[in-house]
Chain A
Amino acid sequence: QQPVQSPQAVILREGEDAVINCSSSKALYSVHWYRQKHGEAPVFLMILLKGGEQKGHEKISASFNEKKQQSSLYLTASQLSYSGTYFCGTEIMGGYQKVTFGTGTKLQVIP
């Protein structure tokens, strides 16, 4: 079952913040986050393991609520370079590192 992301699309002005959510119906072992620009391969942003830890990558951070099987990606003070499609990737318990990608969130940052 594919994780569901929300929102499907969002437009931000430079400097604004955004939150992208990822929800799974299965017990998760880990959540990955990726950004993909048009015509390019996905770029790995971070991985969160079960335990609710929050990780950060410059002005991009994420949290993982293992009880709710949900993860959120936080983008603060957005930059034009943040534009792209964001995917969460989930790994279920006993999934042998098989990553299932979410439905995707298209983010556009405008000047």
Chain B
Amino acid sequence: ETGVTQSPTHLIKTRGQQVTLRCSSQSGHNTVSWYQQALGQGPQFIFQYYREEENGRGNFPPRFSGLQFPNYSSELNVNALELDDSALYLCASFSSLRLSEQYFGPGTRLTVT
């Protein structure tokens, strides 16, 4: 049990739709990263938020956006869904004061049809 939760567990959307995924981090974990993991691949870094500001971004288009809230929760929003967006989406949180601890949530499995 990592103390990081994500919702929903599974989601099916149609191409062109928009989706919002949610993550709730451990108390005191003021940094959250979002990853996309396609089947059989390693996680790909989407972006990171630190104290409610974006603090680093991977090679993902602007239709991937996020928010972080003061209560240690965060959101990943994806607009204009494409079939290739089908993947497991993971959030990971860690305290910037204790670099030795980074914990992943269980993930949201998104299927785009």
Say yes or no: A101 contacts B42, CB within 8 Å: yes
Answer whether residue B55 sits at the interface, using C-beta atoms and an 8 A cutoff.
yes
Residues of B close to A47: CB separation below 8 A: 99-100, 102
Answer whether residue B72 sits at the interface, using C-beta atoms and an 8 A cutoff.
no
Kindly state the interface size class of chain B when it binds its partner. 20 to 34
We find that the number of chain A residues with CB closer than 8 angstroms to chain B is 22
Answer whether residue A9 sits at the interface, using C-beta atoms and an 8 A cutoff.
no
Residues of A close to B101: CB separation below 8 A: 44
Say yes or no: B103 contacts A44, CB within 8 Å: yes
Interface stretch among B11-19, B43-51, B63-71, B74-82? B43-51
Interface of B with A (CB < 8 Å)?
2, 31, 33, 35, 41-45, 48, 50, 55-58, 90, 92, 99-107
Interface of A with B (CB < 8 Å)?
2, 30, 32, 40-44, 46-47, 49, 87, 95-104
